[in-house]
Amino acid sequence: MAMIAPELIIDNDATEACNANPGRKVLAVDKLTKSYQEGKVVLNGISLELRAGEFVAVIGRSGAGKSTLLHTLNGTIPATSGKILNVHRDNTTDDVLTMTRKELRAWRTHCGMIFQDFCLVPRLDVISNVLLGRLSHTSTIKSLFKVFSKQDKAKAISLLKWLNMLPYALQRAENLSGGQQQRVAICRALMQNPKILLADEPVASLDPKNTTRIMEALQKVSDDGIAVMVNLHSIELVQQYCTRVIGLEKGKVIYDGHPSGLTETILHQLYGDEIDQLD
């Protein structure tokens, strides 16, 4: 293990092991900072890269800045300084911090986000909720009358099938369990063909069976070449599913590497006395 800087531990051996077959770089974050109020720094100089196919967990105690990090990456919360570079296939880049509103809307289709409360339309059926993922590609009038192309419908059906939700396609979203709603939310996010999928505590409100289903679904998504980044509170889930973990403490990255490199010392640094309350 190599100490890069006093506050940053990068487990090089483990990182190489988990990146034995790394995908292309899709995002490069450099010295990212965020302050909601002057003088109160929430993200404090975060630098990291994301690669296609990674399944990355962000961990840290409550208030460490996990949700803020995800929202700034996706552009729903404006960052204060630094760079969030969208890396294209030809290695050219665009910076999320300098994007216009229109560019930001386009960015959010590449960098999809699943919100903690799913944000489905409760009275609409499952397949229509999934098709709403195409909203940014469909005119408002067409989407109001649920006029979607044959290709879009075929894709929505295949996504629902992929996550074993096809039998529920015509049920109203409000009649589904939390885990089922979460799977629909994943399908809706995937309708946009994102290269990055962010999820803020995707299993927070789920029972163990649905938690397994969602973690397996997200693993499938990453196996398909999408970079998946999730905030998690369970170290056990991180160890079981993720290929990489980023530990945040007071807005700084103090660990970036394979979950197997999370030692007691690092966990203690991340969680302090709250460590006993973790799963």
**Which residue's Cβ lies closest to Mg ion?**
67
Spatial separation of the C-alpha atoms in residues 270 and 120, rounded to whole Å: 33
**Are the C-beta atoms of 46 and 31 separated by less than 8 Å?**
yes
Structure tokens at 117: 């409360």
Work out what residue 63 binds among Mg ion, ligand ATP, none; the CB cut-off runs from 5 to 8 Å by kind. ligand ATP
Nearer to ligand ATP, 36 or 139 (CB): 36
179 binds, among ligand ATP, Mg ion, none (CB under 5 to 8 A by kind): none
Q: Where is 17: in which H helix or E strand?
A: helix 12-18
Q: Which residue has the tokens 């010295």?
A: 31
- Which is nearer to ligand ATP, 77 or 97 (by Cβ)? 77
Least distance (Å) between residue 66 CB and Mg ion: 5
Among 33, 206, 242, CA closest to 117: 206
Q: Shortest distance, CB of residue 32 to Mg ion, whole angstroms?
A: 17
User: Apex CA 198: angle with CA 174 and CA 245, to 5°?
Assistant: 125
Binding site for Mg ion (CB under 5 A): 66-67
Question: In the block, which residue shows the tokens 């203690």?
Answer: 268
98 touches, from Mg ion, ligand ATP, none (C-beta below 5 to 8 Å by class):
none
Select the binding partner of residue 240 from Mg ion, ligand ATP, none (C-beta < 5 to 8 A, by kind). none
Yes or no: say if 230 and 57 are a contact pair by the CB < 8 Å rule.
Answer: yes
**What is the total residue count of the chain?**
279
User: Taking CB within 5 to 8 Å according to partner kind, which of Mg ion, ligand ATP, none is near residue 64?
Assistant: ligand ATP
Query: Which positions touch ligand ATP (CB under 6 A)?
Result: 36, 42, 60, 62-68
Whichever of 51 and 61 has its CB closer to ligand ATP, that residue is: 61
